[in-house]
Homo-oligomer: A and B are copies of this chain.
Amino acid sequence: MPQKPDILDARIVAKSRLFTVEQMQLRFSNGTERTYERLVSSGRGYGAVMVVAMRDERTAVLIEEYCGGTQDYQLSLPKGLVEPGEDVLDGANRELMEETGFGARQLELLGKLSLSPAYMSQSISVVLARDLYEKRLPGDEPEPIRVDSVDLYDLSSLLGRGFTEGRALAALYLVRDLLEQRGELVR
């Protein structure tokens, strides 16, 4: 691994309710100096979690809700912020109950995915949820969320269904690979 650049200076240059921008003055090991900006999480620091919940061996639960960023309804995975006092699996199960009306008896942390490592500090834990049961918790959504699903062998069709979130698509593919490697999923 190369030697990391020295951070000569770092300061907050813009801030809103949800977003904080940090400007950094860097000196690379070859002497080159550059000014970088990155987005740092304004969240409460307990982390974010995304859930691949399996309704049966091959079918994962999706949700459709209004996305303020793209100003459109989009399909994606249940996700949210971990609350104080929760571990990441508790948070995954709560978000699942709030957004889909399912709880899971079996929860497994698969790893973390980053958003845009060049410009953003954010990462999200990916949790595989299985052995589901019906259980709804009230969430803070402005309107009911529509629940949908996808077959793990039909993931490439998702772009045509208005599912465009890169990290959520990666999570579904990772689950498919993992379950295949374990012999728990047959094409």
Interface residue ranges, A against B (CB under 8 Å):
1-2, 4-5, 7, 13-19, 21, 23-24, 26, 28-30, 32, 34, 36-39, 65-74, 76, 111-124, 142-143, 146, 155-156, 159, 164-171, 173-174, 177-178, 181
Contacting pair A115 B166 (CB below 8 A): yes
Q: How far is the CB of A11 from chain B (nearest CB, A)?
A: 11
Contacting pair B23 A70 (CB below 8 A): no
List chain B residues, Cβ under 8 A from A119. Answer: 18, 68-69
Q: How far is the CB of A144 from chain B (nearest CB, A)?
A: 9
Contacting pair B181 A156 (CB below 8 A): yes
Number of copies: 2
> Secondary structure of the A side of the interface?
mixed
Q: How far is the CB of A21 from chain B (nearest CB, A)?
A: 4
List chain B residues, Cβ under 8 A from A168. Answer: 166
List chain B residues, Cβ under 8 A from A38. Answer: 68-69
